[in-house]
């Protein structure tokens, strides 16, 4: 398993991209729609690092200070896995909470799933196509 990115939620994608670009020297790597959950994501990189910051804007999220979102400006950690099926079987045997079973992001996209750590931190698992 390899740690690949951290995701935070953005109220306004353009403002967030501008903020991290202007103040931290990050550059926009890619930006795309995620129709499955009515969201938009953007990945920013920093020179000299393989890690990425993912900004996630959920269109249906109106307020960051009301349930169920009040503590969720933080979104998730992401780890790349080589064999999603094997990893999921192992996690389920160990009674890890699975919030989203594996699904593909578009016909040519990666296979992703979401689990929770012991205190509820959301973790994305990503299996990229060879």
> Would you say 88 and 96 are in contact if contact means Cβ atoms under 8 Å apart?
no
Q: Of the residues 29, 33, 94, 124, which is catalytic?
A: 124
Residue 127 annotated to the active site: no
Those residues whose C-beta lies under 8 Å from the C-beta of residue 51, and which sit 6 or more positions away, are 3, 4, 5, 6
The residues that are catalytic are 124
């Amino acid at each position: 398993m390899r740690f690949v990115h951290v995701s935070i939620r953005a109220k306004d994608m353009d403002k967030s991209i501008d903020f991290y670009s202007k103040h931290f020297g990050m550059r926009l790597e890619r930006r795309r729609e995620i129709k499955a959950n009515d969201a938009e994501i953007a990945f920013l990189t920093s020179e000299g690092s393989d890690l990425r910051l993912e900004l996630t804007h959920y269109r249906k999220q109106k307020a960051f200070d009301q349930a169920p979102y009040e503590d969720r400006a933080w979104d998730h950690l992401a780890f790349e896995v080589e064999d999603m099926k094997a990893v999921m079987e192992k996690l389920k045997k160990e009674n890890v909470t699975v919030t989203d079973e594996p699904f593909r992001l578009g016909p040519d996209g990666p296979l992703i799933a979401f689990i929770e750590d012991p205190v509820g931190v959301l973790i994305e698992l990503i299996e990229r196509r060879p």
